[in-house]
Structure 1
Amino acid sequence: MSRMTPTHDEPGGPLRLLEIRDTPLSVDEVFAAVGDDAAGGTALFVGTVRDHDGGSGAEVTGLSYSAHPSAAAELRQVAEKVAADFPVRALAAVHRVGDLRVGDIAVVVAVSCPHRGEAFEACRRLIDDLKAAVPIWKHQTFGDGTEEWVGV
């Protein structure tokens, strides 16, 4: 499986790229997807796998993301809500599933709007709502032999 239910909105529509993939993500692809001549600001967020867990401080030695079959539909709902709440010219969000290593890109989201403030706010809402609502779970293993699921 290289892609799960890709979404490409109608030409000129704000939802340009919404995918869950088990292949490496491209920041350039997501940035290009939100290009729009009417946008004065583009905000982009890149989430990467870090070498430690924020809560325990333990060294991360392995990480795997899993997605529920409804994840692509949930991602679309999140994107539609952000596009409805902000003057979005273009929006893209791609999340990785499968085994990742420290430094790998796990998620890329981008939003372009007429002004920078709107772009920053919409991008922040997009990543926050994606993490809160889209059923994607992270399984981490640590150097001390412990493991945990996040988001379940």
Structure 2
Amino acid sequence: MTPRIAIQEAPFDLGAESARLTAGRTDVGGLASFVGLCRADDGLAAMVLEHYPGMTERAIDRIAQEAAGRWPLLGCTVIHRVGRLPPGAPIVLVLTASSHRAAALESCAFLIDWLKTGAPFWKREEWADGTARWVEAKAEDDAATARWAPA
């Protein structure tokens, strides 16, 4: 399985990406998706996401390959946006396809948990009052990732 990985400023289309992943496939029995949105916290004007081209794609590919090693995936798509995104804007899309729903659902959850801690993105919040601050790592994201550690 070769995952489709894209880092882009443009919005993505969930329907089009789902159709692309399953086009011509009759062996897919489960397609799981996750779309992360920019939350409208009180006074948040925008989230600005930055990345290091090449490094980010390689890190996401390693995470996707780990998912493919754990679950029988037939396909995988990860699209992450960068740039200035207002509240409500879609930020990330994860799609996983497998013959059975459990593998699709579990691998999708694994991917989004690992993306939060394992993909090199830098996030800056811009507030309506003109202030800005970099977003720091969160313990709950590390805990979500840790639940996928091998037994």
TM class, shorter-length: 0.7 to 0.9
Aligned length: 134
Which of 34, 49, 61 is equivalent to 2:45?
A: 61
Which of 8, 11, 20 is equivalent to 1:33?
A: 20
Unaligned runs of 5+ in 2: 138-151
The structure with the greater share of residues assigned to helix is 2
**Alpha-carbon distance in 2 for matches of 1:75, 1:29:** 21
Asked whether the 8 Å contact 1:88–1:111 carries over to 2, the reply is: yes
State how 1:3-152 maps to structure 2 within 5 Å: 14-35=1-22, 36-52=25-41, 58-69=42-53, 70-151=55-136
Change in CA separation of 1:122 and 1:51 when aligned onto 2, cut-off 3 Å: same
Report how far residue 32 of structure 1 moved: 2.1
Report how far residue 144 of structure 1 moved: 4.5
The aligned amino acid for 1:59 is: G
**Alpha-carbon distance in 2 for matches of 1:22, 1:48:** 14
**Alpha-carbon distance in 2 for matches of 1:135, 1:63:** 16
Asked whether the 8 Å contact 2:3–2:64 carries over to 1, the reply is: no
Root mean square deviation of aligned Cα: 1.6
Of all paired residues, the percent bearing the same amino acid is: 30
Report how far residue 23 of structure 1 moved: 1.5
TM-score by length of 1: 0.81
Residues 54-96 of structure 1 show CA distances to partners (whole Å, capped at 9, x for unaligned) of xxxx321121100123101111111111111111011000000
**Alpha-carbon distance in 1 for matches of 2:65, 2:105:** 17
